[in-house]
A and B are shown apart, each in its own frame.
Chain A
Amino acid sequence: MSERFQQQSDENESLLARLAGGRLSRRNLLIGSGAASLALVAAACGDDDDEPASSGSSTTERETTSTTEAEGNAAGDLAVAQTAAGLEVLAVGTYGAALEAAQSGALGEVPPAVAEYVTTAQAHHQAHLDAWNGVITGAGEAEVTEPPADLKATVDEQFAGVTDVAGAAELALLLEQTAADTYLAVIPTLEGTDAIKLASTIQPIDMQHAAVLRYVLGQYPVPNVFANTDNAYSG
C-alpha cells in the first residue's frame, strides 16, 4: 500500500511540476521555508509596514508616532501569537492523552488509520506550537507552555467521558474547529505580513484535520461553502 501511495505522491509531484512550469518541488521548498518562516515572523513582531518617511520637517514627531503604532501592532500580533500557541499546546496535549488512552485500551479497538491520524495531527500541532513560540521568544517573551485554562477545563471534562474512538474523534473535531475558526478570526486583524502568512499556512491544515475527522465520523468532509468563526476562541 505504501508503495502505491508513494507512486501516487510521485505522480502528483510530477503533475505539479508541469503545472508550475518547472519550479522547485514542494518538498524542497517546504524544508527551506520552515526555518525561514520562524525567522521572518519573529522579525515581523519588531517590524512595521508603517515606517515613517525619512525626510520632512517633523521627522521626530513622525518617528515617535510610528514607533508607538509599531509597538501597538507588534503587541497585538504578539497577543495573537500567545493565544495561538496556547491553543496549540492544548491540541498537542489532548492528542497525547488520546494516544495514551488508545495504548491503554481505554478507547477499545483503535483502527490503524485513526492511530496514524492522531500521531500525524499531534506532530502538526507541535510544529505549529514551535513556530508560534519562535515568534514569541523572538520578541523577547517567554514561550507558551500552558493551554488556556478555561478551554483545558472544558476539554478535560469532555475527555473524561470519552470511551471509544468516535468520542475521541468528536472531541478532536471540536478542537480542530476551534483552532481553525480562531485563525480565521485573527488573520484579518494581524498587522505583520509574516504573522499573517504563518496563520494562513496553519489554518488550512487545521481545516483539513477537521475534514478527515468528519469523514471518519460519517459526515460530509466539506460541509460549509465558507469557513466561519463560530468556534473562535478569543482568550
Chain B
Amino acid sequence: MSIDDRQLKELIVESQDLQADALRDTRKSLPDLRDIGRARRGRPVDQDKVRAFNADRRALIRRGGLGLGGVAAAGLLGTSFGGAIASIVAKPASAQEDVDVQILQTAVSLELLAIATYGAALGLPFIADGNATVKTFAETTMMQHDEHQMAFNAQAEALGGERQTETNPKYTPVVEEMKPSLTDPAKVVELAATLEQVATQTYVNNIAMFEDTRSKEIMASVMGVEAQHLATLRAVGALLAGGAPQLITVDPPVDVAALPAAAGSVAFPEPFEGTENASPPEEGAVS
C-alpha cells in the first residue's frame, strides 16, 4: 500500500484542528462530567447537570466536528485519534449511562423486595389457605415481578452495568419490621399496596430521566402493570375493610350488583399518578 504524503499531511492538519475544536468545546462540559462521576455511588444525581452535559454532547455531534460523520468525512475514522473520538461520541456520556443503570438497578431492588414480600405472604396460613382469588393474585403478581426484575437486570447489563441482586435498602428494613404485625389479609394487602405504589411512582418519576430509549420502553411497559396491581389491591383492601371478602372473586365472576358504590372509585383515588413516594435513581443502585 502506497502512502500519499500530501494527503497524510492534510489529514494531520485536519486532525489537529479537530482536536483543538474538541478540546475547546468539551472544556465546558468536562467539569460537569467529573461532578456527575463523583455522584455515581450512593449520592443523589443532579439531573440538570446530566441533561446539560448530554445537551453539550449532542450539540457537538450536530456540528459535525466531533460527530462520527465529521470524523469519517475527514478520513480519520481509521486513525487512532479518529477511533478515540469515535468511541467518545458513539454513545451517550458514561455519566448518563450510569444514571440509566442506577435507575434500572433501583427498579430491580424494588421488584426483588416485592417478590420477597409476596413470597412471605404466601407462607402465611391465612393467605395460603385463605381467599382463592387473593392467593392467585399473590402468586401471579410475584411471578410478574420476577419477570420485571429480569427485564430490568438484563437491560442494566446491556448498558454495561452490574446485576442488582439485593432488595431495596430503604424499604427492606421497613418490611422486615412489619412482618410480625401481618396477622390478617388486610394488613398484608395494605403492605403490598404500599410497595406497589412506591414501584409505580418510582417508574413514573424516573422514566423521564432515562437517556436510553430501550430502557424507557421497558420501564413504561412495567409501570402500568404495577399500577394495576395497586388498583387491584386497593379494591381488595376496601372489600376486606368493608366486610365483604366474598366479593373478592374472579372465578366465579363477582356479583357486580352487590358491590358497594365505592368499589367503582376506590382503586384510583386521583386522576394523575403521583410521584411523592418515588425512589431516587441511586437508592437501589449497586454500590
Interface of A with B (CB < 8 Å)? Answer: 1-2, 4-5, 7-9, 11-12, 15-16, 18-20, 23-26, 29-30, 33-34, 37, 49-53, 55-58, 61-62, 65-66, 69, 109, 111-120, 123-124, 127-128, 131, 165, 180, 184, 187-188, 193-194, 196-197, 200-212, 215-222, 224-228
Contact = CB atoms under 8 A, between A and B. Distances in A.
B256 A111 contact: yes
Contacts of A222: 137, 140-141, 144, 225, 228-229, 232
Contacts of A112: 259-261, 264
Contacts of A196: 207-208
24 contacts: A5-B238, A12-B190, A26-B277, A49-B55, A52-B59, A55-B28, A65-B62, A65-B63, A184-B221, A188-B216, A188-B217, A196-B207, A200-B220, A204-B224, A204-B227, A207-B228, A207-B231, A208-B267, A212-B264, A216-B254, A224-B225, A225-B144, A225-B148, A226-B151
A187 B262 contact: no
A113 B241 contact: no
Contacts of B268: 120, 124, 205, 208-209, 212
Interface residues of B, number: 84
B54 to A, nearest CB: 7
A7 B274 CA distance: 21
B265 A19 contact: no
A51 B232 CA distance: 43
Contacts of A221: 228, 231-232, 250
Interface of B: 24-25, 28, 51-52, 54-56, 58-59, 62-63, 137, 140-141, 143-144, 147-148, 151, 171, 174, 190-191, 193-194, 197-198, 200, 203-205, 207-208, 213, 216-218, 220-232, 235, 237-238, 241-243, 250-254, 256-277
